[in-house]
Chains A and B, each alone.
Chain A
Amino acid sequence: MVIWVLARSMYESRLQYSASHAVRTVASIIFGLIYVSIWQGIGAERELGSYGTVGMVSYIAFNQVILWVTFTSHGLGLEERVRTGQIALDLVRPLHLFVFAASREAGSIAYNALFTALPLYAVYAVSFGLPIPRELSVWAYTAAALAMGAYTALCIGYAIGVTALWTVESRWFSLLNYSVNFTLSGFLMPLDWMPGWLQTIARVSPYPIFNYVPTQIYLGKAGPSSLLVPLVWCLLLTLLCIAASAAVRRKVEVQGG
């Protein structure tokens, strides 16, 4: 229940800044168009493997749509709470800090899903003929993958936010996370096309759950078995977040709140 209330309040506070959000949605649509254009240009000159130009355009466009479901604010807003000292009060709550931060961010993700991902999906479905799967199971598996992606993003965001207790430059960890994410998640190109060494790194990292896995499932190129590795990551990251919370508690207690 608490989770719902926190998420809802965040969702509603996001509703306040509609003008700047509209600009962001437009920017996102244009970003997607840029990436799609790149592949259309490349596809005009050569075959694009098992995807073909049309398949590749769908791959890129769907990536751009779901980008917003796994997009979290810097450190789940924890840096701000550390700076203002609010964190000490957050720790006194009967609610676990991770649950607190993650629920709030989940509201923000819901907002992004509704007001960015959905419009993008509609625009791309019309302009690029993004395929719409008929089987219910594909929808279900895609939804499961996206939920795991969102959860993974929350865990990583939380771990980054926690570093704010040790350095004022935690923002750079977020930037690093975003940029590694772009390459390893398969956002720019499918993992299969990457050079072997990079593919290996990508496949053992948690990042493919953000783009590659859900998009493959959505396009009917992979089944539910591709959800196994991400599931292991979700468990591992949960443990990491619990450990991180313990470290935060120690650190704040040492500082005397």
Chain B
Amino acid sequence: MYMLEAIGLEKTFVTSVPRAGRFKAVRTLFSREKRAVTAVKALDFRVAPGEFVGFIGPNGAGKSTTIKMLCGILHPSAGEVRVAGHSPQRDRRKVVRKIGVVFGQRTQLWWDLPLKDSFDILAAMFRLSPAEKERQLVRLEEVLRLREFWDTPVRKLSLGQRMRGDLAAALLHDPEMLVLDEPTIGMDVTAKRQIRTHLKLLNEAYGKTILLTTHDMDDIEQLCQRVIVISRGERIYDGEIGQLRERIGLPTVIRVAYRGDYRIPAGAEAGGGADVPDGGFRIVERREREVAVGCNRSETGVMDVLRQLSQWGEVDDVRVEEPDFEDIIHRIY
């Protein structure tokens, strides 16, 4: 049985069309004209138990709408969702016991109370026995290390700490699947790395199925075996992360700083996007002692490029920049 199935999932929102011109307020009020906006269009996908799936797409692509339908928050206009065989709309309460959900920008913890109180409340709500609760907390402690801020009111936690708290809260009732909407949003690099480690452990050691939306390409690269890309409400890619990489290539920018002057071989002096003859890369930017070049890593290796660049002058420092997430998405369609 699949952990999660979306079958022909659609969501249409109806909004009234605002009128323009004089007395627009009054005219909009009495206007019967409505416009249907399709946020999600005939979406199909399946997630098997134990998978770690990245669900990505540009802003406004319908990610949140889809996630909310998967959790039973929104009712689809057409199609169906099944979570471990149950419909989140018809059996919402059964489904929320099987999944744990974290929205990165909100918290389900009790803002003014010490962190530990939230777990007492959630345990009562999910009807965990004291023994079950203790057992879960011990397991969660291994992964998320909550003891250090156990007695701190939630409003005083750092973003990273709060996210660990939220993850633990979503996991307290031992759900089979985790749904995470932008869990690393707004975090610094260290906190992000920590959260990723926790998520990996949850997936690999505890066998949780995880569905993750994010804008951070590192999240995807380091965590997901599979990605689903949606754009304008439609699925445009569903497959291994490796294949996605092959399909779009790996646009990479390499910045090299030289100790002294550097000399660009003839034929490439034009600068600004010029291809270097037989080099397999092109110059993106030139400064006094620094040059930035772009290549596609699936065609030209970074080491190859570096070897060539080191012949232009004495290399002082090298930086490799990963492509921007939005760039990648734009390349797919």
Query: Interface residues, chain A, CB within 8 Å of chain B?
Result: 15-16, 18-19, 21-22, 115
Q: What's the nearest-Cβ distance from chain B to residue A7, in Å?
A: 17
Measured in the bound complex, the distance between the Cα atoms of B29 and A19 in whole Å is 6
- Of chain A, the residue at the smallest CB distance from B27 is A18
Q: Which of B98-156 contact A (CB under 8 A)?
A: none
Asked if B25 is at the interface of the complex by the 8 Å CB criterion, the answer is yes
Asked if B28 is at the interface of the complex by the 8 Å CB criterion, the answer is yes
Query: Interface residues, chain B, CB within 8 Å of chain A?
Result: 24-26, 28-29
Measured in the bound complex, the distance between the Cα atoms of B108 and A40 in whole Å is 53
Measured in the bound complex, the distance between the Cα atoms of B23 and A115 in whole Å is 11
- Of chain B, the residue at the smallest CB distance from A115 is B25
8 contacts between A and B (CB under 8 A): A15-B24, A15-B25, A18-B28, A19-B28, A19-B29, A21-B25, A22-B29, A115-B25
Question: What is the predominant secondary structure among interface residues of chain B facing chain A?
Answer: helix
| B-chain residues with CB within 8 Å of residue A115 when the two chains form the complex | 25
- Of chain A, the residue at the smallest CB distance from B29 is A18
| A-chain residues with CB within 8 Å of residue B28 when the two chains form the complex | 18-19
Measured in the bound complex, the distance between the Cα atoms of B24 and A115 in whole Å is 13
Measured in the bound complex, the distance between the Cα atoms of B29 and A22 in whole Å is 8
- Of chain B, the residue at the smallest CB distance from A20 is B29
| B-chain residues with CB within 8 Å of residue A21 when the two chains form the complex | 25
Measured in the bound complex, the distance between the Cα atoms of B28 and A115 in whole Å is 15
Measured in the bound complex, the distance between the Cα atoms of B29 and A115 in whole Å is 13
- Of chain A, the residue at the smallest CB distance from B24 is A15
Counting chain B CB atoms within 10 Å of each CB, the highest count among A15, A16, A18, A22 belongs to A18
Q: What's the nearest-Cβ distance from chain B to residue A182, in Å?
A: 29
Counting chain A CB atoms within 10 Å of each CB, the highest count among B25, B26, B28 belongs to B25
| B-chain residues with CB within 8 Å of residue A18 when the two chains form the complex | 25-26, 28-29
Measured in the bound complex, the distance between the Cα atoms of B20 and A15 in whole Å is 12
Q: What's the nearest-Cβ distance from chain A to residue B200, in Å?
A: 37
Q: What's the nearest-Cβ distance from chain A to residue B28, in Å?
A: 6
Measured in the bound complex, the distance between the Cα atoms of B24 and A19 in whole Å is 12
Sample of 7 further A-B pairs with CB below 8 A, known A15-B24, A15-B25, A18-B26: A16-B25, A18-B25, A18-B28, A19-B28, A19-B29, A22-B29, A115-B25
| A-chain residues with CB within 8 Å of residue B25 when the two chains form the complex | 15-16, 18, 21, 115
| B-chain residues with CB within 8 Å of residue A16 when the two chains form the complex | 25
| B-chain residues with CB within 8 Å of residue A15 when the two chains form the complex | 24-25
Measured in the bound complex, the distance between the Cα atoms of B24 and A16 in whole Å is 9
Q: What's the nearest-Cβ distance from chain B to residue A147, in Å?
A: 25
Query: Which A-B residue pairs are the 8 nearest by beta carbons?
Result: A18-B25, A15-B25, A18-B29, A19-B29, A22-B29, A18-B28, A18-B26, A15-B24
Q: What's the nearest-Cβ distance from chain A to residue B15, in Å?
A: 12
Q: What's the nearest-Cβ distance from chain B to residue A81, in Å?
A: 21
Q: What's the nearest-Cβ distance from chain A to residue B209, in Å?
A: 39
Measured in the bound complex, the distance between the Cα atoms of B16 and A18 in whole Å is 12
Q: What's the nearest-Cβ distance from chain B to residue A121, in Å?
A: 17
- Of chain B, the residue at the smallest CB distance from A21 is B25
Measured in the bound complex, the distance between the Cα atoms of B26 and A16 in whole Å is 10
Measured in the bound complex, the distance between the Cα atoms of B30 and A18 in whole Å is 10
Measured in the bound complex, the distance between the Cα atoms of B23 and A15 in whole Å is 9
Q: What's the nearest-Cβ distance from chain A to residue B116, in Å?
A: 25
Q: What's the nearest-Cβ distance from chain B to residue A114, in Å?
A: 10
| A-chain residues with CB within 8 Å of residue B26 when the two chains form the complex | 18
- Of chain A, the residue at the smallest CB distance from B16 is A19
Q: What's the nearest-Cβ distance from chain B to residue A61, in Å?
A: 24
Q: What's the nearest-Cβ distance from chain A to residue B195, in Å?
A: 28
Measured in the bound complex, the distance between the Cα atoms of B26 and A107 in whole Å is 18
- Of chain A, the residue at the smallest CB distance from B19 is A18
Q: What's the nearest-Cβ distance from chain A to residue B25, in Å?
A: 4
- Of chain B, the residue at the smallest CB distance from A19 is B29
Measured in the bound complex, the distance between the Cα atoms of B26 and A15 in whole Å is 9
| B-chain residues with CB within 8 Å of residue A19 when the two chains form the complex | 28-29
Q: What's the nearest-Cβ distance from chain B to residue A160, in Å?
A: 25
Measured in the bound complex, the distance between the Cα atoms of B28 and A21 in whole Å is 12
Measured in the bound complex, the distance between the Cα atoms of B31 and A22 in whole Å is 14
- Of chain B, the residue at the smallest CB distance from A15 is B25
- Of chain B, the residue at the smallest CB distance from A111 is B25
| B-chain residues with CB within 8 Å of residue A22 when the two chains form the complex | 29
Q: What's the nearest-Cβ distance from chain B to residue A168, in Å?
A: 12
Measured in the bound complex, the distance between the Cα atoms of B25 and A249 in whole Å is 38
Measured in the bound complex, the distance between the Cα atoms of B25 and A19 in whole Å is 8
- Of chain B, the residue at the smallest CB distance from A22 is B29
Q: What's the nearest-Cβ distance from chain A to residue B302, in Å?
A: 44
Q: What's the nearest-Cβ distance from chain A to residue B52, in Å?
A: 38
Q: What's the nearest-Cβ distance from chain A to residue B33, in Å?
A: 14
| A-chain residues with CB within 8 Å of residue B24 when the two chains form the complex | 15
Q: What's the nearest-Cβ distance from chain B to residue A186, in Å?
A: 32
Measured in the bound complex, the distance between the Cα atoms of B111 and A230 in whole Å is 46
Measured in the bound complex, the distance between the Cα atoms of B25 and A115 in whole Å is 10
| A-chain residues with CB within 8 Å of residue B29 when the two chains form the complex | 18-19, 22
- Of chain B, the residue at the smallest CB distance from A12 is B25
Q: What's the nearest-Cβ distance from chain A to residue B328, in Å?
A: 34
Measured in the bound complex, the distance between the Cα atoms of B25 and A81 in whole Å is 27
- Of chain B, the residue at the smallest CB distance from A16 is B25
Measured in the bound complex, the distance between the Cα atoms of B26 and A22 in whole Å is 9
